[in-house]
Amino acid sequence: MDYIQMGKEYVMNTYNRYPVVLVKGKGAVVYDEQGNEYLDFVAGIAVNNLGHCHPSVVAAIKGQVENMIHCSNLYWHIPQVELAKLLVENSFGDKVFFCNSGAEANEAAIKLARKYSKKKYGEHKYGIITMQHSFHGRTLGSLTATGQTKYHEGFEPLVEGFKYVPFNDIDALKDAIDENTCAVMMEPIQGEGGIYEADEGYLRKVRELCDEKGLLLIFDEVQCGMGRTGELFAYQHYGVQPDIMTLAKAIAGGLPLGAMIATDEVASAFKPGDHASTFGGNPVACAAGVAVIKELLGGVIDNAREIGEYLKSRLLELNKTHPVINEVRGRGLMLGVEFNMQEVAEVVNRAMKKGLLVLSAGHKVVRMVPPLIITKAEVDKAVEILDQVLKEMEV
């Protein structure tokens, strides 16, 4: 059966897909139909933080599907309550709203910020300032929040009330605030836009500015959260807390789940009926989420920090020997290699042929977001492949 041909016939053409059919994954390795093996430094785009088919996640899912796969949020169920408790106990937040994806988590954050601010300050408080190069999702609200015009084109009119400012520029943010502004929304470490970290001083100043002007600070940790950067949440590196945070991607070990976490003060603006999701916080996804957090806190985050530093040091060595590399950026296992050439897609393609999956981000950046359970030996193998690819391309 030619599944690629069949896919082209029946699946809507919204992705540029590589011509492989993946059938199995174990740890940091995936296999295609032909049995070819790939070292997976994509991890489902920062989703499979515990690697593929982690035994704890598999056991949690199996255990839950035998009992109950779905029940409405008209009723309580145990995995959702357990996961909410774990998220609250390990973050700044007090209350959690569950949905199914990053985009939905950001929609929820935008709605909560508006509801809270309108109640507190009046109907005119609805404006949200986001960052250039940001990525917040593809639904109309989260798309509008995304500070990249290439994703907006063709879908206007967008949602009203959004403004964009350059990242790490506190004066630009100050200038953009007006009487309508209610919130500032950003990724502490930008992912899809090209792996750009917030400066330490910048985040602190943003927090101060928000407090001074009565604005909510929303951190989108959909990609940089869940242990990826060597802390459970990226904001913990900075000692700056948001009022609202969004999570998805890695939160449920590969099952679709999103979460929006807020302080009690802010969360209290939502009353029953204000927001909802049929599948949000589904029992199976939440059971997987509980297993994920326990594994992360049980040592996996420490591995992400240590191996992340090792991978970064190895990439910095490549930076010295390959003039095509401009810069290595990022924290933990959320790293970007910026090239000073256009052929980043070629790097990704060639690496794949040699058995390494990586992906691009932003402009001329190769992104590496491997599972957090990755070993030193696997890092060495990946760096070796990248080194070979660059040598080939340089001749």
Structure tokens at 85: 């408790």
For the chain, the first-to-last Cα distance in angstroms comes to 39
Rounded to the nearest 10 degrees, the angle between the axes of helix 283-295 and helix 78-89 is: 30
Q: Is 223 in the site for ligand PLP (CB under 6 A)?
A: yes
Q: Is 191 in the site for ligand PLP (CB under 6 A)?
A: yes
Residue 367, CB-side half-sphere exposure with 13 Å CA sphere: 24
188 SS3 class: coil
Q: Is 40 in the site for ligand PLP (CB under 6 A)?
A: no
One residue of 48, 101, 168, 229 binding ligand PLP per CB under 6 A: 101
User: Which residue number, 125 or 329, has a Cβ lying nearer to ligand PLP?
Assistant: 329
Size of the site for ligand PLP (CB under 6 A): 15
One residue of 222, 261, 292, 368 binding ligand PLP per CB under 6 A: 222
Q: How far apart are CA 206 and CA 311, in angstroms?
A: 31
Q: Is 187 in the site for ligand PLP (CB under 6 A)?
A: yes
**How far, rounded to the nearest angstrom, does the alpha carbon of residue 36 sit from its chain's CA centroid?**
28
Q: Is 48 in the site for ligand PLP (CB under 6 A)?
A: no
Find the shortest distance in angstroms from Cβ 256 to ligand PLP.
8
Pinpoint the alpha helices (H) of the chain.
Answer: 3-10, 43-46, 55-67, 78-89, 102-121, 140-145, 149-152, 170-176, 200-213, 235-238, 264-267, 283-295, 301-321, 344-353, 376-394
Q: Is 135 in the site for ligand PLP (CB under 6 A)?
A: yes
Residue that the structure tokens 């109907």 belong to: 123
Residue that the structure tokens 């949000």 belong to: 280
Q: Is 331 in the site for ligand PLP (CB under 6 A)?
A: no
Question: Pattern of binders to ligand PLP over 238-277, x per CB under 6 A?
Answer: ----------xx----------------------------
Find the shortest distance in angstroms from Cβ 165 to ligand PLP.
17
Q: Is 96 in the site for ligand PLP (CB under 6 A)?
A: no
- Residue 135 annotated to the active site: yes
126 SS3 class: coil
Q: By CB under 6 A, what part of segment 102-131 binds ligand PLP?
A: 102-103, 106
Q: Cβ distance 113 to 244 under 8 Å?
A: yes
| List 249, 270, 312, 339, catalytic entry | 249
| List 219, 220, 233, 339, catalytic entry | 220
| Cis peptide, bond prior to residue 256, ω within 30 of zero | no
- Residue 211 annotated to the active site: no
Find the shortest distance in angstroms from Cβ 142 to ligand PLP.
6
- Residue 41 annotated to the active site: no
Find the shortest distance in angstroms from Cβ 391 to ligand PLP.
32
Q: How far apart are CA 221 and CA 139, in angstroms?
A: 17
Q: Is 197 in the site for ligand PLP (CB under 6 A)?
A: no
Give the binding site for ligand PLP (CB under 6 A): 101-103, 106, 135-137, 187, 191-192, 220, 222-223, 248-249
- Residues serving a catalytic function are 135, 220, 249
